[in-house]
């Protein structure tokens, strides 16, 4: 008898598990925000193919937020315009995302003044981009009660921001900048630079006359030729593994 009860209990647990996962998948689909299914949110613009995953993070001031086409906004991403909800911020947008922008899970973009993120910028999880920072001028007043400082932020096209990167007010990143995981960026970063550290410093840069300096330590990946199928790629990988094993055994 105990065995039967355990079997029945196990069956119920499996059924409940499947039901919970099915319900969660349904909520993820139903709760995603797109131009066709904005829910309660009324963004200044949502481009074709842009999708905000469910559940969303904190979102307010969406009237002053514009997103281009084919942006991917991960789960629990915060997007805010203005210091608090229900402010009149004028006629111009504060936060603008270009086409093809990717914001990883748990990222924050806080636009108390203008933030511009250009086309094809990719952000890993937990990236923090803000146009406002606390001030601490008055030594007798709690920092959180002092009026903050705000400066515009610009992130150029094609940049990659690694996990946990922080982009501070006044930062201006050029084209195809790589920001290492955990870096804290302020000031101007030139095109085709790699920055790392806190505060971030340029550790590698590409220029037409000299190429990458310091030189890259690994060869550039070979692009997959047009028309190659996944099956052909698997067969090629199997052949390379077999050849490596033969060489090791020989």
- How many Å apart are CA 20 and CA 195, to the nearest integer? 43
Which helix (DSSP H) or strand (DSSP E) does residue 242 occupy?
helix 230-249
| 33 DSSP 8-state letter | B
- Residue 133 burial by CB count (10 A; 0-12/13-18/19+): exposed, middle or buried? middle
User: How many degrees, rounded to 5, is the angle at CA 159 between CA 199 and CA 162?
Assistant: 55
Active site residues: 134
> What's the count of helices (H) and strands (E) in the chain, helices before strands?
2, 24
Q: Which helix (H) or strand (E) holds 28?
A: helix 2-31
Angstrom distances, CA of residue 183 to CA of 127, 140, 178: 10, 31, 10
């Amino acid at each position: 008898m105990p065995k039967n009860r355990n079997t029945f209990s196990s069956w119920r647990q499996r059924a409940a598990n499947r039901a919970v996962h099915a319900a969660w998948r349904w909520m993820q689909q139903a709760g995603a925000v797109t131009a066709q299914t904005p829910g309660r949110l009324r963004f200044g613009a949502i481009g074709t193919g842009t999708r905000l995953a469910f559940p969303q993070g904190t979102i307010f001031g969406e009237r002053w937020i514009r997103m281009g086409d084919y942006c991917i906004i991960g789960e629990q991403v915060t997007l805010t315009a203005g210091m608090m909800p229900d402010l009149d911020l004028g006629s111009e947008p504060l936060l603008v995302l270009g086409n093809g922008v990717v914001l990883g899970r748990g990222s924050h973009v806080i636009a108390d003044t203008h933030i511009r993120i250009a086309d094809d910028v990719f952000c890993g999880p937990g990236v923090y981009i803000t146009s406002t920072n606390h001030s601490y001028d008055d030594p007798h007043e709690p920092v959180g009660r002092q009026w903050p400082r705000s400066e515009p932020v610009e992130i150029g096209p094609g940049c990659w921001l690694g996990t946990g990167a922080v982009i501070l007010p006044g930062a201006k990143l050029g084209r195809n900048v790589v920001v290492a995981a955990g870096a804290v960026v302020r000031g101007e970063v030139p095109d085709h630079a790699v920055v790392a550290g806190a505060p971030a410093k340029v550790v590698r840069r590409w220029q037409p006359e000299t190429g990458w300096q310091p030189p890259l330590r690994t060869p550039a990946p070979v692009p997959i030729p047009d028309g190659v199928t996944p099956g052909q790629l698997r067969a090629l990988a199997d052949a390379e593994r077999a050849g490596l094993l033969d060489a090791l055994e020989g």
